[in-house]
Structure 1
Amino acid sequence: MDTRPFSIAFIVRDPLPPLRADVATLFGAEMPRHGVRTELVGQGGSAGGAPWHAGGMHVVGHLRHRSAGLLAPLWDALGLLRAWRRGRPDCIQVRDKVASALPALLAARLLRIPFVYWMSFPIVEGFEARRDALAGRRRWLGWPAHALRAFLSRRLVYRLVLPAADHVFVQSEAMRDWLATLGIARARMTPVPMGVDAVLFDRGAIVPSQDPRLAGRRIVLYLGRVAQSRQSDFLLEVAERLRRQLPGVLLVIAGEAPSSDEMVWMRSLIAARGLGRHVLLTGWLPQALALGYAVRAEVGLSPIPRGALFDVSSPTKLVEYLALGIPGVANDIPDQARVLAESGAGLCVPMQADAFAAATLRLLFDHELAARCAERGPPWVAANRTYDILAREVARTYHRILAPCGPIR
């Protein structure tokens, strides 16, 4: 059995330093414990992030640059060269990038090392959704460029990159099933769903929020981003129905929007519906403060629109609720349905406002049911969805790919 350490040159789409837990925690904290070190390559742009002690970080270019999309493959090639100068990597891995994937694949073949693709989101379908949205709004000036990007991306990813990859990490079992229908061998795919950092989500270590607006209210929580693409106005439809039955309810939306325009959109909808006393939209919060609001909640909501973009996703928020002992109400995308079926820590309903409101009220009024759900969540997450658990499977996969002698134990 080969247990020597391995080094991965990892090109990421997200801004550096990394903020997402499936990069910062999985690769920054957990993978070094299994002998896997990471040389991160990408563009700058995040307003935070911890120093990278799991290898090296090679920031070339910035996502705020006007031509970042066009220049990213060149920047990533330069970043790969810098990573290579620190030592020959054992594999090259690309996460969610399209244009950078082909040169990375060619570099891996020249170096005679494996090429791995990490698909956390169906990026091609995202490009196609953007193209179709522009057409729907008749914004024809920008449409040709988006149409060309979608056309080329589909052929590059599904005809060249994924078939040639030595391995593909995917976001969920549903994503693996879907890619298998496109001809990608199931044996070359490993699902890695979203998880939580067990230390950060230790409820006993979280200081509850003392925001006076929470006093005397029945708190329902949405923890995550607000966006029109996520149909976040659905939350307000649920809030309207909740307040009819429970005037003291307060929906706390602890999160921000991807742009100031979308934040204005959400605040204007709250005002237009007269929900100012029943919906608290916090905006961006440091994680410690966001979790302080979370532990004051009795129920957590996770509505995810059905469709090609999100059916193959693995939402973090539901797992976070369960880790904190908060009963969840989620709709029936495959990963959420599986989590609730296995854990018994919440209720799974269609993404319909009446159904969400009814399930939420059931948990708010049925204290025995809510207590059972709250009790079941943390042990299920600890056994299945913490990053130390997920890291073991990811590490076994790397050692199988990079060390033909066999996986680690």
Structure 2
Amino acid sequence: MPPREPNAPPDASEPPRSAAASTVAHASFARTIFERTIFYIVRDPLPPTRADLLTLFGAELPRHGIGAELIGQRGGPGRDTWQAGGMHLVGSPAGRGASLLSPLWDALGLLRAARRTRPDCIQVRDKIGSGLVGRLAARLFGVPFVYWMSFPIVEGYAVRRDDVRRHGAPLLWLLHALRAAAARLVLYRLVLPGARHVFVQSAAMANWLAARGVPRTRMTAVPMGVDPARFARGAIAPSLDPRLDGRRVLLYLGRVARARHSDFLLEVAERLRHGVPGLLLVLAGDAPSPDEMAWMRAEIGRRGLEQHVLLTGWLPQRAALGYALRAEVALSPIPRGTLYDVSSPTKLVEYLALGIPSVANDIPDQEQVLAESRAGLCVPMEAGAFAAAVRRLLDDAALAAECSQRGPAYVNRHRSYAILGRIVAETYTKILPSRIA
């Protein structure tokens, strides 16, 4: 499956902890204030590092009286505390058979959570086998079952199956084909039909699922957002990297990977380097594997772009944002297709929050954001179109200034986690009973 958007990583100074199951509550929000408590099985390793989970469920929803007991597998170092309820770590996402054991581990996590409190809802995010477990558990507890779909997992399995088929290995293809078929059956025939409500990543995903039989009235789109306080320009120190001095800096913030067609960015740089003196494309992000990073470096060398592309590798979020503040234009090319057309990329919203004029391609969520915000230019994912849009923003200072001013205002009104938290809380209010009547 293609990698997800990166978020702030755990503090590297934290010592590693055992992978044994643990349950620790945090006292930031008193348990008595929660009108509703969600048992939430998540796909991402715990403790959480993703901003949408940390901010939305850890900070915003508790303000609306909604707590969450997180259930999942330990993935790395970090504190076993969760400010919005409890955290129940059972098993590990690594090792042979981990994906097969995950539903059993999550079932154990549900039992451990039930020792602390009773749920008002069982919610599962992006897990298929555990989705079936969650639906059965909700029936036993007599509470609604809710599914949170942030990525088309089944279609990701199908893409992997087809990739394996193109490269031979018939037995491996058969295994991937069986996994994709089983996942499709379980998710679309057993899990989603039993959900009281389905949270999706975008309006495009809601329309896509509606075409597959999920009632549109049972879905709420929750696109990616940001915490405006973390992305306020005045709160971030610009990078002092001397390689940026005197350059016209373009920025890409995110993963570098073949699956994301990251070499497209190099095609854009190739078209711009002769017409834009001092051009420097900063790729602020890591690759999912050393092989992918080596591939990108080789592509930079093959195209003779060593003086025009800076590949930073992994950076702490604040350092990456420091590079962003030195950029004149930010880029967000996302390949078209089933996997990404229903996505809600974080990077574009982050660019707008930082006040960086942006060029993005026409996947539905990005097209909507730029049409509503008028904080950048939306073009097809073609090197010539991207290069022309970048030149327009670099050459038209007045247009770039207008885009820079519009971005933060749009994010504050539409894509802050405070706004998204209110939307999600209102949805829960409609579908869940209150334990404080």
**When the two structures are superposed, what TM-score results if normalisation uses the length of structure 1?**
0.96
Quick one: which of 87, 96, 120 aligns to 1:90?
Answer: 120
Residue of structure 1 equivalent to 2:335: 305
**Are 1:380 and 2:410 an aligned pair?**
yes
Paired with 1:141 and 1:217, the residues of 2 have a C-alpha distance of 52
Paired with 2:386 and 2:109, the residues of 1 have a C-alpha distance of 46
Deviation, 1:365, is 1.0
Structure 2 matches for 1:251-262, cutoff 5 A?
A: 251-262=281-292
**Are 1:131 and 2:127 an aligned pair?**
no
Which range moves more in the overlay, 134-143 or 230-239?
134-143
Residue of structure 2 equivalent to 1:37: 67
Residue of structure 2 equivalent to 1:276: 306
Residue of structure 2 equivalent to 1:360: 390
Query: What's the secondary structure of 2:352's corresponding residue?
Result: helix
Residue of structure 2 equivalent to 1:18: 48
* Contact persistence 1:19–1:49 (CA under 8 A): no
- Give the fraction of aligned pairs with identical amino acids, expressed as a percent: 67
Quick one: which of 214, 225, 249 aligns to 1:184?
Answer: 214
**Are 1:339 and 2:360 an aligned pair?**
no
Query: What's the secondary structure of 1:194's corresponding residue?
Result: coil
Paired with 1:147 and 1:304, the residues of 2 have a C-alpha distance of 26
Deviation, 1:140, is 2.5
Paired with 2:413 and 2:407, the residues of 1 have a C-alpha distance of 10
Paired with 2:392 and 2:169, the residues of 1 have a C-alpha distance of 44
Deviation, 1:21, is 1.1
Which blocks of at least 5 consecutive residues in structure 1 are unaligned? Answer: none
Mark the CA change 1:49 to 1:256 in structure 2 (over 3 Å): closer, same or farther: farther
**Are 1:67 and 2:97 an aligned pair?**
yes
Aligned length: 404
* Contact persistence 2:80–2:87 (CA under 8 A): no
Deviation, 1:50, is 8.3
**Are 1:319 and 2:346 an aligned pair?**
no
Which letter maps to 1:229?
A
Paired with 1:48 and 1:327, the residues of 2 have a C-alpha distance of 35
**Are 1:156 and 2:167 an aligned pair?**
no
Write out the 4+ residue segments of structure 1 that deviate beyond 4 Å after TM superposition.
Answer: 47-50
Paired with 2:271 and 2:209, the residues of 1 have a C-alpha distance of 39
Paired with 1:237 and 1:154, the residues of 2 have a C-alpha distance of 37
Paired with 1:50 and 1:224, the residues of 2 have a C-alpha distance of 27
Deviation, 1:66, is 2.4
* Contact persistence 1:10–1:92 (CA under 8 A): yes
Which blocks of at least 5 consecutive residues in structure 2 are unaligned? Answer: 1-32
Query: What's the secondary structure of 1:10's corresponding residue?
Result: strand
Query: What's the secondary structure of 1:244's corresponding residue?
Result: coil
Paired with 1:365 and 1:139, the residues of 2 have a C-alpha distance of 51
**When the two structures are superposed, what TM-score results if normalisation uses the length of structure 2?**
0.90
Structure 2 matches for 1:161-172, cutoff 5 A?
A: 161-172=191-202
Deviation, 1:403, is 2.6
* Contact persistence 1:196–1:319 (CA under 8 A): yes
Which range moves more in the overlay, 59-68 or 10-19?
59-68
Quick one: which of 129, 145, 163 aligns to 2:175?
Answer: 145
Paired with 1:86 and 1:4, the residues of 2 have a C-alpha distance of 14
Structure 2 matches for 1:100-249, cutoff 5 A?
A: 100-249=130-279
* Contact persistence 2:34–2:66 (CA under 8 A): no
Which letter maps to 1:145?
L
RMSD over equivalenced CA pairs, Å: 1.5
Paired with 1:91 and 1:292, the residues of 2 have a C-alpha distance of 41
